[in-house]
Amino acid sequence: MPNRQRLAVVVAAYNEQAALPVLHRRLMDVLDRLDLDTQLIYVDDGSRDDTWDTLLGLAAADARVALLRLSRNFGKELAMTAGLDRVDADAAIIIDADGQDPPELIPQFVARWREGYDVVYGTRTEREGEGWLKRGSAHLFYRVIGRLSHTPIPRDTGDFRLMSRRALDALGQLRERQRFMKGLFNWVGYRQCAIAYERAPRLAGASKFNYWRLWNFALDGITSFSTAPLRAATYLGVATAMLAFVYACFVVVKALFLGDPVQGWPTMMAVILFLGGVQLIALGVIGEYLGRLYDESKQRPLYLVDAWQPGAATPAPPP
């Protein structure tokens, strides 16, 4: 088979033993019908259930399956990074292990890629099986970060996407530790296009993202793609100082004309508490950025690999 293009599919999985076999079958159905050489890279993100054994079974049955196991749970962003780092194909697709992103969309992704797009991403029009709170908070998040970030981050777009070789190479150069992939994908630029799809409910298991984790994820996203909160702290400070100045003038003038019997304990308390609050908020915002700077400065590796098993059909280098 001379010079067939190669497509890799990267799947990050954390405790997905029930969903993986189903997803694998659906993926293979789709990939078999593409005129491409394909490779699957499953990344076990330190699962505590039988995900790894399930994956070994899949790899034994199919030479196109490559397996990567991280030394512990590093989180989805790093698991995806680890998988993408091992792609040597002409393009890669990222897809969730739980079947929420339909593999059946892959031929459309590939078609757009062949038209010359470097990044083809799926945009969710519908999110079935997710509560109003999750949908509402996600909706709000995409709007806030869209406003704050200088890098455009398309709304309602998850990690489900195809990336061309040069987009992958560019992404591979971004080694920041605090990885907000949705932002990094778009920072890369090049020609991008969207494909709308309906997000299905999970095949099995439960979401790994509770609200606390989502909140921290949102903070990571905002702090790694925007310094607007720091500027907001400055403006808050300036606004408070101006108000304080006006009020000080008022107090002085009032004391000059009406005398100054000792009064005003409630106002003083209110002002002190208000200023204290504003200062703490501003300090907290600075602390958020400082903490991330600290993480970055340690220069630790992004993730550690426990096991890497390349697929048997990984094309051998030419003799």
Residue 198 CB, nearest approach to ligand UDP (Å)? 14
Give CB contacts under 8 A, 24+ apart, made by 52-59: 53/17, 54/17, 54/20, 54/21, 55/13, 55/20, 58/20, 58/21, 58/24, 59/309, 59/311
Distance CA 72, CA 304 (A): 8
Q: Of 120, 69, 116, whose CA–CA distance to 94 is shortest?
A: 120
Cβ(233)–Cβ(281) below 8 Å: yes
Residue 248 CB, nearest approach to ligand UDP (Å)? 51
Q: Select the span of 98-106, 176-184, 188-196, 222-230 touching Mg ion (CB under 5 A).
A: 98-106
Q: Select the span of 72-80, 251-259, 266-274, 300-308 touching ligand UDP (CB under 6 A).
A: 72-80
Cβ(162)–Cβ(109) below 8 Å: yes
**Of positions 76, 124, 127, 179, contacts ligand UDP by CB under 6 A:** 76
**Of positions 100, 149, 192, 224, contacts Mg ion by CB under 5 A:** 100
Q: Does 98 bind ligand UDP (CB under 6 A)?
A: yes
Q: Does 52 bind ligand UDP (CB under 6 A)?
A: no
What stretches of 206-250 adopt beta strand conformation (E)? none
What letter represents residue 197's amino acid?
A: Y
Cβ(310)–Cβ(66) below 8 Å: yes
Residue window 190-229: x/- pattern of binding to ligand UDP, with contact defined by CB under 6 A: -----------------xxx--------------------
Residue 11 CB, nearest approach to Mg ion (Å)? 12
Binding site for ligand UDP (CB under 6 A): 12-14, 16, 45, 73, 75-76, 79, 96-98, 100, 207-209
